Amino acid sequence: MGIYLSTPKTEKVSEDGENDRLRYGLSSMQGWRSTMEDAHAACPDLDGSTSFFGVYDGHGGKAVSKFCAKYLHQQVLKHEAYFVGDLGTSVQKAFLRMDEMMCGQRGWRELAILGGEIDISTESGEVNGHNDDSSSEEGSHSNFHGPNAGSTACVAIIQNNQLLVANAGDSRCVLSRKGQAYNLSRDHKPDLEAEKARIVEAGGFVQCGRVNGSLNLARAIGDMELKWNKSLPAEKQIVTANPDINTVELCDDDDFLVLACDGIWDCMSSQQLIDFVQEQLNSESRLSVVCERVFDRCLAPAAGGEGCDNMTMILVQFKKTFNSGGKDQQSESGQIPALAESN
């Protein structure tokens, strides 16, 4: 089977939900691609006053994106920094923890199940209670160093009036404030100066906009063949799962935010998508339907080029309960300012 189907799969998997702080809708569609490698997580009530939303765009298979969708938000809650109010640190450690958890016998088996290589219905020992201590596992895959497939990760966490966005890869989070699109994440492409410098210092190279001539992302979870340098920390590997983190204090001028994989951003700019969503919201109350209409607008008429990728989108609409003045905070990564205006 080639990279594209003869006709696109336009069936959509959609969901809507809400709590007293927000409403959300999401959808995903395989499209022209021969396989569906996107995944997502929506946890409006992750922990008390905390909501979590994430999109994960897999490459080389679906296992890593599904792994992230299953475990990343759980790891945010498990880190000690979360309990002392340091949300940024707990999120960063959760991103890096994904790579650690996918190593060893237990990691190999979980990835095999999520990737469809093991039929869990025939297995006697289900792995839903994932044990992080992979190093204790024995067997032929006990020295498994992690997957060569990978995934982007772009997550938005809303805690009281604070919005935290963490991103590794080229999925994107955009906030609509008074109808203006503001990027809260940066697409991590290998040609970016800071990314290219890290790649070269770690022993890699950029060719034709791709890391070592193959991967068109500078940051991702997984891709362990590009994280082999034992003398360097995870943050300085050729490809790193270390996320940019951006925090913003929400205010009554904030209408909604969008999380989407690059299948959308290949076809629409941030402002074009915000304008389209706002127009649809004038006549459609179901947020998942708005996401579906975005897919229909982006879907290419024929295989090849823009509009042929998997598409996943989460739309989060705020209920107006903010009492802040909308004061922005500087990005913890130091790479991009909060509320960077996008055309």
Q: How far apart are CA 178 and CA 318, in angstroms?
A: 13
The better pLDDT of the pair 203, 123 is held by 203
CA-to-CA distance for 342 and 271, rounded, in angstroms? 7
Q: Kindly state the tokens that stand for 177.
A: 């404030």
CB 315 within 8 Å of CB 25: yes
Q: How confident is the model at residue 320, as a pLDDT?
A: 74
Q: How confident is the model at residue 136 (pLDDT cuts 50, 70, 90)?
A: very low
Q: Which pTM was predicted?
A: 0.89
Q: What is the tens place of the pLDDT at every residue in 267-299?
A: 999 999 999 999 999 999 999 999 999 999 999
The residue extents of the domains of the chain are: 4-102+146-319
Residue 56: strand, helix, or coil: strand
* Spatial distance between the Cα atoms of 101 and 42, rounded to a whole number of angstroms: 21
Judge: domain 4-102+146-319, CATH 3.60.40.10: yes
Task: Count CB-CB contacts under 10 A for residue 161.
Answer: 17
- How many CA atoms are closer than 13 Å to the CA of 169, on its beta-carbon side? 27
Assess contact for 162 and 247: CB atoms under 8 A. Answer: yes
Distance, CA of 152 to CA of 309 (rounded, Å): 14
pLDDT value at position 121?
A: 52
Element (H, E) at 17: strand 4-18
pLDDT of residue 1: 55
Residue 179, Ramachandran bin (φ over 0: left; ψ between -120 and 50: alpha; else beta): left
Q: What is the pLDDT of residues 143-176, one digit of tens each?
A: 888 899 999 999 999 999 999 999 999 999 999 9
pLDDT above 60: residue 210: yes
